[in-house]
C-alpha cells in the first residue's frame, strides 16, 4: 500500500529512506545535475542538514513520502512562501522523485494527489514547481496533474 507521510511523523528508517532516495536523485538526475551549480548544490551534507531543518522547523515546509510497506518509494520537498498575487500561503514543490524501477506505477500521481489534498487542508492556495526545459517527461507529468505553464524562466542567485 502507498501511504503519504510528512517529515513530522517520520521514523528514523523513513528518514534514511528519504535521504537515500533524494541523495540518489540529486546525484544522478541529468536534468538536476545540469543546473546543480546554479543552485549552489553542496552535496549530501547539505541535504542531511535540510532534512534536519524540516524536522526542527515544520512551519517552513516538509518532506512528503510515499511508502510501500516500510520502503520509501517516492518523495518530494515542500517549502512555504507568501504570494502577493494569491494573497495567501503557497507551496514551492522541489525534488519530486520515485524509486528507480518503480516509475509509471502511479506513485508520482499518488504523491501529488495526496499532497494537493494536504496543502488544501492547510490553507495553501497554489503549488509552484519547475522542471528543466529539456525534461519533457516531467513537464507532461505536471501538466497531466493540472499544473499550468507560466511562460517564464526560473532564475537563481546563490548567496
- Domain tally, the chain: 1
**pLDDT, position 1:** 45
| Residue in this structure with the C-alpha cell 534514511, named with its chain if needed | 16
- Answer whether residue 149 is part of any domain: no
Q: Does residue 150 fall inside a structural domain?
A: no
List the one residue out of 98, 124, 118, 122 whose CA is nearest residue 109: 98
* Domain assignment present for 45: yes
Instruction: Please indicate, yes or no, if residue 74 is contained in any of the structural domains.
Output: yes
Mean pLDDT value across residues 27-35: 93
Average pLDDT over residues 89-105: 95
- The pLDDT assigned to 15 comes to 87
Question: Does residue 138 belong to any structural domain of this protein?
Answer: yes
Whether 81 is in a domain gets the answer: yes
Residue 27 CB coordination number (10 Å): 14
> By residue range, what is the domain housing residue 20?
2-144
Amino acid at each position: 500500500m502507498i501511504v503519504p507521510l510528512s517529515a513530522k511523523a517520520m521514523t528514523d528508517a523513513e528518514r534514511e529512506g528519504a535521504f537515500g532516495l533524494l541523495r540518489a536523485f540529486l546525484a544522478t538526475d541529468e536534468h538536476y545535475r545540469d543546473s546543480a551549480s546554479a543552485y549552489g548544490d553542496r552535496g549530501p551534507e547539505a541535504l542531511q542538514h535540510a532534512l534536519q531543518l524540516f524536522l526542527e522547523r515544520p512551519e517552513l515546509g516538509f518532506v512528503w513520502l510515499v511508502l510501500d510497506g516500510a520502503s520509501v518509494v517516492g518523495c518530494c520537498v515542500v517549502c512555504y512562501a507568501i504570494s502577493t498575487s494569491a494573497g495567501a500561503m503557497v507551496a514551492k514543490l522541489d525534488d519530486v522523485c520515485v524509486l528507480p524501477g518503480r516509475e509509471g506505477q502511479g506513485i508520482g500521481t499518488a504523491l501529488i494527489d495526496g499532497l494537493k489534498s494536504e496543502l488544501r487542508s492547510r490553507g495553501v492556495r497554489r503549488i509552484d514547481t519547475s522542471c528543466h526545459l529539456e525534461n519533457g517527461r516531467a513537464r507532461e507529468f505536471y501538466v497531466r496533474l493540472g499544473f499550468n505553464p507560466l511562460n517564464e524562466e526560473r532564475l537563481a542567485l546563490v548567496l
